[in-house]
Chains A and B, each alone.
Chain A
Amino acid sequence: MSLRSTVKSTVVHVLLVFIAAVSIAPIVLVWLTSLKSSAELSVNPLGFPQHWLFSNFSAAWSTAHLGQYIANSVIVAVPSVLITVAAAGAAGYALALFSFRGRGLLITLFLFGLSVPNISIVGSLFYTERSLGLVNTRPGLILAEVAQALPLAVLIMRATFRDLPRELREAALVDGATEFTVLARVYVPLARPAFVAVAVLTFLTVWNDYLYPLVLINSDSLRTIPLGLAYLNSTYVENVVLVAAATVLGALPSIVIYVILQRQFIRGVTEGALK
């Protein structure tokens, strides 16, 4: 390598390392905070803790109900993902491979949903759910989250099925397969990467959502992680280290899922936005 290109590649790496540090420093900082005592935090806000204190985590887990909040998030997110994937898979399949009356209208309706801001409809969603007796219930939150996730999920699945060969269905039907077996045995396996991408995307979106739980949930026993963290922050104002420990635990599932299923998530995000 010439000197010129060595210098250039060093400059590029310095720049990239700097931005990487910006990206993770705030996260590392919370970690460090969560391992300190309140007294130490006020004198040593930036450095490593002198004594690694793990008691904040146990306090966050039990006293601050974080275990409960995580369980609540799982109980809401898992059914939301399953319902979204199943409903979007079926709808996307129909919109891609069948021609039927109302198909164009349905596609337009789902496209429309992509641009409806959640903050605009959350008020009427609350009153709609209240008249259905669904406010402050898990089914109420799950259905709202599914409705929010569906437009993108349906459109991703439709685009996926549209790009698969149509002849497969026709050939299978000729061989005597039913519509259901064609979908389940032929197209679902072929579209598996897209299903996984939609599932990961939906899971993280539901898991991280704050607005819908804020409006639809009011008892502590049903609070999801984001809602619980915001509540802890306003309750334990004097105990920042405890809230920091809760924050570390609350962010951990999202980070773990991202690390494990990074490719699928990125695929979901980019396909959702660009395709």
Chain B
Amino acid sequence: MPAESGFAAGRARRYRSVPYLLVLPAIAIYGIFLLLPFARMMVMSFWRWNGFTPGFTWVGIANYQELYHDSSFWIALLHNLEWVAWAVIPIAVGLGLASLLSQPVLRGRSIYRSLFFLPYVIPTVVTALVWSWIYEPTWGSLNTILKNLGLARFAQDWLGNPHVALPSLAAAANWTGYGFCMMLFLGGMASIDKSLYDAAKVDGARAWKRFTAVTWPGLSNTTNIVVLIVFINTMKVFDIVNVLTSGGPANATQVMGTEIYDATFSNLTVGYGAAMAVVTSILIIVPSVGYLKLREARG
């Protein structure tokens, strides 16, 4: 070991508290306002509490048993999963856009890229309001366009009809999703070795062949990450539902997020809401562990 680093190590020993002092502010805030609430959620899920009176009642696993028999929670979970299925569309569109925009010869690609990503940047509440006016039944843009095209029979109350309300919400959310997926795929494509493309070109591979032989295998890790992020974001969706439908009509758009919120803040069954929150966390954290492993593997 060279003398300098031995000396530096000696200094580091003298200032042994330095790394702890550097980490302290972050871990303190993060600990009190994220880790502590997480631990508290787990503890509260074994109690019954209305959020106001000082007394808690220990109920053991009763909240979880109730949850197991609560069909509304299972329906909400199914809605999340249906939403996940719809979210395949922005992933596919994002991949297609990224492949087109990754070609250096394409004119105006940075403008396209900026425009596609724009919906992701605006606040979710703005997205929700904008789409509430698109879906508005009497003067809303979607029905107006359908009527102008002579397709009035398809016009309807997009958020008021229980059969189409959930896909309508998913479409509004997907509007912000394809640009985001595109951006991540572009990031993944940037790290693919360019010489592989040149080699494929020399071998006479056409664009589609180059995609299947070079791009797609080179993206496998990125694709897994994108799918997991979209899955996680969809499982915890709340804002857009809260603003547009609050879970209605007739609970047709209830998701786990709105169920937790209602149980905790409307019905004041805090322990039961915590049990739902624990189950939701597990459904999200377990796949996330896979995501984090991939992320670390990528460096």
Residues of A within 8 A of B (CB): 9, 12-13, 15-16, 19-20, 22-24, 26-27, 29-30, 33, 41-42, 45-46, 83, 86-88, 90-91, 93-95, 98, 100, 103, 106, 109-129, 143-144, 146-148, 150-151, 154, 169-171, 173-174, 179, 183, 204, 207-208, 210-211, 214-215, 225-227, 229-230, 233, 240, 243-244, 247, 250-251, 254-255, 258-259, 262, 265-266, 269-270, 273-275
Contacts and interface: CB of A to CB of B under 8 A. Distances in A.
Nearest to B3: A174
B8 A170 contact: yes
Contact of B33 (A86, A103, A128, A179): A128
Contact of B265 (A16, A147, A215): A215
**Which 9 residue pairs spanning A and B have beta carbons closest together?**
A115-B288, A147-B33, A270-B187, A91-B26, A94-B22, A98-B19, A120-B277, A123-B264, A208-B123
9 contacts: A16-B112, A30-B133, A98-B12, A113-B34, A129-B33, A174-B7, A226-B125, A254-B122, A269-B184
SS class of chain A's interface: helix, strand, loop or mixed?
Answer: helix
Nearest to B258: A119
Contacts of B16: 100
Nearest to A166: B5
A123 B265 contact: yes
A270 B183 contact: yes
Interface in B1-51: 4-5, 7-8, 11-12, 15-16, 18-20, 22-23, 25-27, 29-30, 32-38, 40-41, 44, 51
Contacts of B12: 98
Contacts of A117: 232, 235-236, 280-281, 284
Contacts of A154: 26
Contacts of A109: 27, 30, 35
B165 interface: no
A26 B34 CA distance: 35
Contact size range, B: 35 or more
Contacts of B289: 115
A210 B138 CA distance: 28
Given A100-B16, A251-B126, A26 B131 contact: yes
B292 interface: yes
Interface in B161-211: 175, 178-180, 183-184, 186-188
